[in-house]
Each structure stands twice: as structure tokens, then as C-alpha cells.
Amino acid sequence: MVEIKGRTHIGKRQLNEDRFVADAGWGVALVSDGMGGPAMGEVAATIVTTGMIDRLDAGESLPDAIANTHRAVVDAAENGNGKPGMGATLVVARFDGYDFELSWIGDSRAYLWNGELRQLTRDHSQVERMLASGKMSLTEARESYRKNIITRAMGRDQIPAGDVPMLQGTLGRGQRLLLCSDGLTDMLSGPEIAAVLATEPDSDHALEILVAKAVDAGGADNITAVLATADDSGPAPDNLPLLPAVTIARDDGHSEYFPPGY
């Protein structure tokens, strides 16, 4: 089976606008990072989380659930639940045994740990556009003042089901799928995250250390992470195809970026 655990921390913010789901029985891992300030981001992230739960439970496909939940955030703002302009990111994985579907909107990320840390989701952000065009390096991206400017969000613009990115994969025994908000990735580099996952087999302990390190590194934003781990009954990793990586990081400090179509 797949174990799913989650943890969140308010960081230095006055309010935690992150929401997460870590439900192994249901097979869902989800992180949503609200944006828009008090009475906005927390409302948007809550609508995203509860809306996704309800729609997936009702049997909707992942893209349909995301498109319909996006409209629910827009409708809520127009009807006075929250405020116009509120939004949230979303990264969600739905498991069927060891197989999973993965979708995302915004810059909350999913990583596969299989001895190295492979970023599976490509941020909807200005910085990612600059990385993809070769106008910025990974080091410059981490330090850029634009790194939190996203180009897509739940509750903003249009998100038809046909435009929802989706990946399908299988989690092999010992492999892990990490979903997280940018409160973690803004504070910790890929190699730093890889070093924790390489040395901490216990999910609760690994999450505790990741969040604590992000707090110690500054904790400027809310920090949320969900970790799905395949047990020893999972399929052999060597027999599984690898999903394309946006970045690859190792605990020895190596980090590499791959533009679209690489």
C-alpha cells in the first residue's frame, strides 16, 4: 500500500493560508496555497480543498474536478464569500493502488524521490518562463524577486478541464512522492530536500525535519508538505518508466534543470 502523511507550519505569517489532504485510505494527497491576504487566501484554499474532495469523491475526473472547483472559487468571490481576486495554487495526486494521477495549477510542486529528487511539475510562473527560455539560471531563479509571481491560479482567469496538466505514473517500492507549497521550496534547495529524504525513511520524521529546516532557513511563508511512500509490496522500481523531470537534484549537491521538450 501507499502511506500518505502531511504536515504544515504557519512560518512567520500571522495566518496559515495553506491547506492539505493526506488520506491513504482514500488515496489522495493534496496541497493548496491560498493567496490574496487575510479573508481571501484562506477562503480560496479551503474552497479548493473541500471542492476537490467532494468532486473526486463523486467520481469526477481529476481535470473536471479542478475545472469545476476553479469555478467554485470564482463564484464564491462574486457572492461575497471571500473577496474578488482571491486564489490558490493546487497540486494533487490520486492513487489507485500504486498507480497515480497527478495535476497542478500554480507553483506548488510534486517531486519523485527514487534515490534522486525529480521535480515532476513545471511551475506556472514568470520565473519558470525565464528558466525555460534560458534567460535565467537555477541559482538566479531561487534569488529572483519574481519567484512568487504565478501565471495560473485556482479562482483566477480561465481553467477549462482540457487545459489542466496531468501526469500518470506508478510509485515503486521505497519511492516517495512529495507534494509541497512554495514555503518549503523557497527556503530549501533541491539538494537540501534530497538530503533529508535520503537519510530519513520514516515519513513523519522526514516531514518534521523538512518543515523545521524551512523554518530555520527563514520560514517567510506558510510551509506545507505531504509525503506518499510506497511500501515493500510495491512494484520493482527498475521496471517502471520514469516521468520527465523539470529538475533533478541529489544529496551530493548536484542540481540540473531541463527546459520543456528536453
Is the confidence at residue 241, as pLDDT, over 80? yes
Does some domain include residue 167? Answer: yes
Does some domain include residue 262? Answer: no
Q: Residue 115, by phi and psi: left (phi above 0), alpha (psi -120 to 50) or beta?
A: left
Contact 131, 259 (CB under 8 A): yes
- Euclidean distance between the first and the last CA atom of the chain, given in angstroms as a whole number: 33
Give me the CATH number covering residue 229: 3.60.40.10
Does some domain include residue 57? Answer: yes
The 10s digit of each residue's pLDDT in 196-239 is 999 999 999 999 999 999 999 999 999 999 999 999 999 999 98
pLDDT of residue 135: 87
Tally the domains of the chain.
1
Does some domain include residue 136? Answer: yes
Where in the sequence is the domain holding 35, given as residue range(s)? 2-257
The 10s digit of each residue's pLDDT in 89-144 is 999 999 999 999 999 999 999 999 999 999 999 999 999 999 888 888 888 877 77
Does some domain include residue 164? Answer: yes
216, HSE (Cβ side, Cα atoms, 13 Å): 7
Strand ranges (E), the chain: 2-9, 18-23, 28-35, 87-88, 90-96, 99-105, 109-113, 117-119, 166-170, 176-180, 223-230, 247-249, 255-257
pTM of structure: 0.96
Does some domain include residue 146? Answer: yes
For cell 525555460, name the residue: 132
